[in-house]
Amino acid sequence: MTGQNDNGFTRIQCTVNGVPRSLFIDVRKSLLELLRQDLGLTGTKEGCGVGECGACSVLVDEVLVDSCIYLAVWVDGKAIRTVEGEARDGRLSPVQQAYVEEGAVQCGFCTPGFIMASTSFVEKHQGQEVSADQIRKGHAGNLCRCTGYQNILKAVEKSLKP
């Protein structure tokens, strides 16, 4: 991060879905605002705006964060993954594919955040025996107002299989 100017803006470097970015940003901005307003990555959703629902979940250096309560300046020098970067070469990621196959999407508003939480969980536990309780705890920060939890659980179980 270079020095902050008089207007409260500063320059940061980061990668977003593998693409290097040099961004001049308002130091008061959240990562969610940076993604949606500055970069047009509107897949990441704003639900509560206060760190309770997980709709805004993204990965920063592979750590799941609520981007609504994470300052954009904190991603300086870091790698961000959002839902837009998960499909590759026109193919859904294994987690996304499992969500489709298990019907784990209803209105879809919570889905991008859940996909990132599931991706983080699956990448940490791939090939391991995990219980339904562990999967539930791994998604404790994400809320679905359509109450589609059972199918999400099944999708994660499917993604964990080799």
**Binding site residues, ligand FES, CB under 6 A:** 46-49, 51-56, 66, 68, 105-111, 144-146, 148
Please state the closest distance from residue 39 (CB atom) to ligand FES, in A: 17
Report how far residue 58's alpha carbon sits from residue 148's, in angstroms, rounded to the nearest whole number.
Answer: 20
**By C-beta, is 10 or 86 nearer to ligand FES?**
86
**By C-beta, is 16 or 64 nearer to ligand FES?**
64
Please state the closest distance from residue 68 (CB atom) to ligand FES, in A: 3
- Report the first-to-last Cα separation within the chain, whole angstroms: 41
Residue indicated by tokens 């409260």: 8
* Contact by Cβ (8 Å): 23, 34: yes
How is residue 15 written in tokens?
């990668």
Report how far residue 111's alpha carbon sits from residue 57's, in angstroms, rounded to the nearest whole number.
Answer: 10
* Contact by Cβ (8 Å): 119, 98: no
Name beta bridge partners: 57.
66
**By C-beta, is 99 or 160 nearer to ligand FES?**
99
Please state the closest distance from residue 56 (CB atom) to ligand FES, in A: 3
**By C-beta, is 56 or 116 nearer to ligand FES?**
56
Please state the closest distance from residue 140 (CB atom) to ligand FES, in A: 12
Please state the closest distance from residue 104 (CB atom) to ligand FES, in A: 8
**By C-beta, is 10 or 99 nearer to ligand FES?**
99
Task: Compute the CA torsion angle 145, 83, 150, 70 (nearest 10 deg).
Answer: -60
